[in-house]
Structure 1
Amino acid sequence: MEGFMANGERTQISLRVPSDMIDAFERIAGALDRDRTWVMLQAFQFYLDREGQEILSDAEGIASVDRGETVDWNSAKTRIDAAIARGAAAHVKKAG
């Protein structure tokens, strides 16, 4: 997380944040002996790494379906059943 923030080009933004949230950032910054900006950047990065990636992954999955990049259910089930059967056979062979 730190590497991304340290090396990236910076752009200044302005946003309205509830006062209680700013107070919380200030308290956290004080406890860590860091500035508020550092704490806020950590929070942004944490969100991007978790929620943001999940949202982007979901969006890509939906776009893939929209492009017709899907697998027929019967074909998928046949392949899954075959993989399970191979695994079961290997387990029996290993045990026997």
Structure 2
Amino acid sequence: MADKPVLSDPITLRVPIDILEDIEKIAEASERSRSWVIVRALKYYMINEGSDILDIRKGLEDIEAGRVHDAEEVFAELERLSRDDAA
């Protein structure tokens, strides 16, 4: 059996009425709570768009910290490796 996730304190969220109505319909149809439906939707967001945003933020942090490689050096190394593989 999977461990239950650690939950935050309750939060307040305002959503447009039409979205809330759809959430309630989905919750009822799937015999789940509104919270379950909302958390599931947030997980999908985090896997897709949210992940992209976090990756960009990490890249910007790497640049600020100087964790970068010169593009010309990278291309030269790839070219060298390509020649070595062809030999």
Q: TM-score, normalised by structure 1?
A: 0.75
Alignment: residue pair count: 86
Displacement, 1:40? Answer: 0.8
For residue 86 of structure 1, what is the aligned residue in structure 2? 84
For residue 29 of structure 2, what is the amino acid of its counterpart?
A: A
Larger RCO of the pair (alpha carbons < 8 Å, separation 6+): 1
For residue 38 of structure 2, what is the aligned residue in structure 1? 40
Over 3 Å counting, the alpha-carbon distance change for 1:28 and 1:87 in structure 2 is farther
Deviation per CA, 1:48-69: give whole Å up to 9, x if none. 2322222111101011112222
State the distance in 2 between where 1:10 and 1:39 align: 16
Larger radius of gyration: 1
Listed as ranges, the gaps of 5+ residues in structure 1 are 90-96
For residue 66 of structure 1, what is the amino acid of its counterpart?
A: E
- 1:7 aligned counterpart, secondary structure: coil
Q: TM-score, normalised by structure 2?
A: 0.82
Deviation per CA, 1:7-62: give whole Å up to 9, x if none. 21331111211000001111111221212111111111222232222211110101
For residue 81 of structure 2, what is the amino acid of its counterpart?
A: A
For residue 88 of structure 1, what is the amino acid of its counterpart?
A: A
State the distance in 2 between where 1:53 and 1:42 align: 15
Instruction: Give the RMSD, CA atoms, in angstroms.
Output: 1.8
Q: Flag the structure with higher helix content.
A: 1
